[in-house]
Structure 1
Amino acid sequence: MIVIIGASGAVGIPLIKELTRRDTRLRILTSNSASATNLKSLGVIETIIGDFHSDEDVKNVMKGASSICYIPARFREDEFEIGKRVVDSACNEQVEHFCFCSAYHPQMEQLGHHWQKLKLEEHLINSDLMYTVVQPSMFMQNLRVEWPRIIKEGTYPRPYSPESQMNVIDTDDLGEAMANILLDHRFWGGTYELCGSETLSHNEMAGIISEELGGKVEAVHRDIEDWKAWAIEKEWTDYAIRNYVNMCRHYNDHGYKYGNDLILQTILGRPATKYRSFIKKFIESQST
């Protein structure tokens, strides 16, 4: 049985879809009943509503598990403490394998949410568990946030330069790769940078979107203060806002480039999804 902790987000949902398609026995720890209902609609039989901050809840969900997959929530100030609790509980339960979804370039100390993941990677190494770490690049699906403005205004706003080169991955590819890792022991024991086959600026992405929509879409540099006002309205924490701003500054100055998709191709057994193919699929999903 595979236990997934942190299953309701951008990584967890495609992973669960892939695992349920393969009739994998799953148990999911989730924080609320609405999430549990959604997970059951995806085919998950066993969901447990609990608190990630509770030693007892984390311990209980792991009973009888062979593998643990931990996907941390984004921009949480206590991310390392939660992750440490999950790793320590897995040690106590003597699970066979631990899969951790980290981040591309966790070595970036100025990006606090990346640095916390690197600290957990270190803790995982010192745990003596059999582990696998995946470090995915930026998600193609992130454009969901901007999609309404793309459709209504013909603009694709991001809070950094539209010229910055970015490597992006389709989360469907990521979910499939993680499912392969969890189910195939040959992939255990590695740390894998997972990224797509293309490095594109948002100007180039907007050009592809324009061609597929049949109308002009322009990538624009969104003022960071405008984004901060939006984040405050959405009740982001000070920690989350600070680290997101730092991330955008890094993207503005350096981008998120120089990825190599060879590892992802090897795990998938096929080429990574191209950005144009993703956009075609995304547009179709929005029209159904």
Structure 2
Amino acid sequence: MEDYPLIEDHGLIGDLQTAALVTTDATIDWFCCPRFDSPSVFGSLLDRRKGGHFTVRPVADTYTTKQLYHPDTAVLVTRFMTEAGAGEVVDFMPVTGTTATDRHRLVRMLRCVRGSMTFEGEIAPRFDYGRKPHELHISEHGALFTSEDLDLAVHTVRAPQDERLLSILPGDNDDLRFSLSLRAGQQRGLVMESAPGGPPHEVRLEEFERLFDRTVRFWRSWLGQSTYSGRWREAVERSAVTLKLMTYAPTGALERVSLICSSVDRMCLSGG
């Protein structure tokens, strides 16, 4: 279908209670919350006009992208290259544990690796498959989307007493737009949280990095239990992580969501 990304052009992230699909240009176009079988919040994979999305992209006339996983983890890296520099969007979901919860965090870490880069993006949720309206409330430290059945907070990230590099503005249809200008070595981002239980707040950069480190440690510890050491080790381990991402931790059941299954089939075959 014209203007729709192929299923194979996605990475998968999750916290073992739900999951999100991320395109190779860093758009989240499928995300159900708070569980795998919940209604979608982002669903532009199925309906580009009404489905909802969470986009991030560099402000540049032309750019190239490359997507890969942080080694031995379910942390996804989308790398952008422009004439002015190189930057990354690092996506992951901190694992929530084995007790069912409505609280889930989707972390989008934005980095400038070389030169300079200005990112821009849009958060356009469409609750209950786009059937239920929402309201946007912007505060000093982020934003809150409220709907009939689910609230989503967007927390901003900043180092203590550092300049506010991230700017957020209301968009059309109570959506949220943001922009962020970084120099080489700088890192900021957003944490989107469901059922937050309070207003948006600033996430300290140190806590941001701890979330990343804990998520990396979890996946490497889990994968470290594997005893396979054959010639297909990389493909087998990537397939194992992908299947683990589809497991609902409170019951141990393997979710059979058709869209995610199709993505998994492709990723396992490619070793990606």
TM over 0.5: no
Which has more strand, going by share of residues? 2
Larger radius of gyration: 1
Higher RCO structure (Cα 8 Å, ≥6 apart): 2
Which has more helix, going by share of residues? 1
TM-score by length of 2: 0.30
